[in-house]
Amino acid sequence: MVAVLKQHPWRSLLVLFWLVIVMMQPAPLNMLADYAAFSVLGVTGAVFANATGAGGGVVFVPFFHHLGLTPMQIVATSFAIQCCGMSAGALTWWHYYRKHHGQDEQWQPLTASLLLTVPCSIGAILLAQWGQHLAALAAFGENAAQLHIGFGLFSIMLALAILGSVPLLKRSRFELKLSKGDCLALPLIAFIGGLVTAWLSVGVGELVAVYLIIRRFNITMSIAVAVMLSALTVWAAVGFHIVQSQAIIWPIVLFAGAGAVIGGIVAKRVVLAFNASHLKIFFGVWVLLMGLAGLPVF
């Protein structure tokens, strides 16, 4: 036990902090019985989110909808859980990058990609949340269902493009620098993705990762960018739901969030277990499933 504490002091501190919060609840045993199963949901959502960069909302949103939560509760709770899982994943990926790929040419676009996308994504999601009095944004929010369908169709097209480009990986050559076109496209994609994420709790990470992969950047690096971008975006987004909507279901977050932290740490191992071709197929299939889930026939 002492060896574990010395090897992972921060993780041990988090576990202790979580246990203290649980024990401070009025009926901790009843809470365990009612909500412990959400830990499995958190692990599952975070593993897929941090292995693809697509965001855990794709797993959480359909599940919470099945439970009968309101749309606002679904999005708010999803954001809160992702703050746990995506943060764990982002820190894990950043540590991996600094330790193993700090001097790797294929990973050099990571920092520049984040600098181009993070401000636009955060700006868009804050504008969508706090600027709902603007007529255009209000209409955009009211058409969230139609937006979901459109996003589903877009995801299907992107997935087909990814799967169709798998044979290109045989050339084993990746782009090493962002072009001028990338410097213009990435902020725009991040802004659009931020607007989508505000209403669906998923979007920006997927769009940026897909763009980077199609542009033939290193696939693992592209996923790491998407995870870090998503983590910073959801932290910016959750404030609205804490202060304004107050729609977060905190008991669910307490357990699903703990599972999401575990999933965020484990996800890197999942990604590194694939070679480039298998990883691209995995990513393409996952994006395809997300697209199909957004259509009304499913």
What are the tens digits of pLDDT across the range 162-209? 777 677 656 567 889 999 999 999 999 999 999 888 887 877 888 898
Stronger pLDDT, 271 or 261, i.e. the higher one: 261
Residue 83 has pLDDT above 70, yes or no: yes
**Closest by alpha carbon to 195, among 163, 147, 162?**
147
Residue 16 lies in a domain: no
DSSP state of 26: S
Question: Which pLDDT does position 63 carry in this prediction?
Answer: 80
DSSP state of 167: G
Residue 48 amino acid letter: F
Residue 4 has pLDDT above 50, yes or no: no
Q: Which band of pLDDT confidence, cut at 50, 70 and 90, is reported for residue 263?
A: confident
Residue 143 has pLDDT above 60, yes or no: no
Enclosing H/E stretch for 150:
helix 144-164
Q: What's the predicted TM-score (pTM) here?
A: 0.84
Q: Are 199 and 150 in contact (CB under 8 A)?
A: no
Cα 229 to Cα 99: distance, rounded to the nearest angstrom: 20
Question: Which pLDDT does position 133 carry in this prediction?
Answer: 52
Q: Which band of pLDDT confidence, cut at 50, 70 and 90, is reported for residue 5?
A: very low
Structural domain for 150, as ranges: 29-293
Domain count, the chain: 1
Average pLDDT score over residue span 129-133: 72
What does the pLDDT look like over 220-238, one tens digit per residue?
899 899 999 999 999 999 9
Residue 7 has pLDDT above 60, yes or no: no
Cα 108 to Cα 106: distance, rounded to the nearest angstrom: 6
**Closest by alpha carbon to 150, among 188, 78, 199, 208?**
199
- R_g (Cα) of the chain, nearest Å: 19
For the chain, percent of residues with pLDDT exceeding 90:
30
Residue 182 lies in a domain: yes
Question: Which pLDDT does position 198 carry in this prediction?
Answer: 85
Q: Which band of pLDDT confidence, cut at 50, 70 and 90, is reported for residue 50?
A: confident
Residue 5 lies in a domain: no
Cα 236 to Cα 36: distance, rounded to the nearest angstrom: 27
CA angle 10, 12, 17 (to 5 degrees): 95
**Closest by alpha carbon to 203, among 84, 105, 78?**
78
Residue 6 lies in a domain: no
Q: Which band of pLDDT confidence, cut at 50, 70 and 90, is reported for residue 106?
A: very high
Question: Which pLDDT does position 12 carry in this prediction?
Answer: 64
Average pLDDT score over residue span 276-287: 74
Token readout for 105 is 């040419």
Q: Are 220 and 279 in contact (CB under 8 A)?
A: yes
Average pLDDT score over residue span 51-65: 75
Q: Are 154 and 225 in contact (CB under 8 A)?
A: no
Question: Which pLDDT does position 224 carry in this prediction?
Answer: 93
Average pLDDT score over residue span 68-93: 89
Question: Which pLDDT does position 8 carry in this prediction?
Answer: 54
Cα 233 to Cα 83: distance, rounded to the nearest angstrom: 9
Q: Are 113 and 178 in contact (CB under 8 A)?
A: yes
Residue 141 has pLDDT above 60, yes or no: no
Q: Are 162 and 290 in contact (CB under 8 A)?
A: no
Q: Which band of pLDDT confidence, cut at 50, 70 and 90, is reported for residue 121?
A: very high
Residue 20 lies in a domain: no
Residue 15 lies in a domain: no
Question: Which pLDDT does position 71 carry in this prediction?
Answer: 80
Residue 135 has pLDDT above 50, yes or no: no
Residue 147 amino acid letter: L
For the chain, percent of residues with pLDDT exceeding 70:
82
Cα 256 to Cα 270: distance, rounded to the nearest angstrom: 20
Question: Which pLDDT does position 146 carry in this prediction?
Answer: 57
Residue 24 lies in a domain: no
Residue 196 lies in a domain: yes
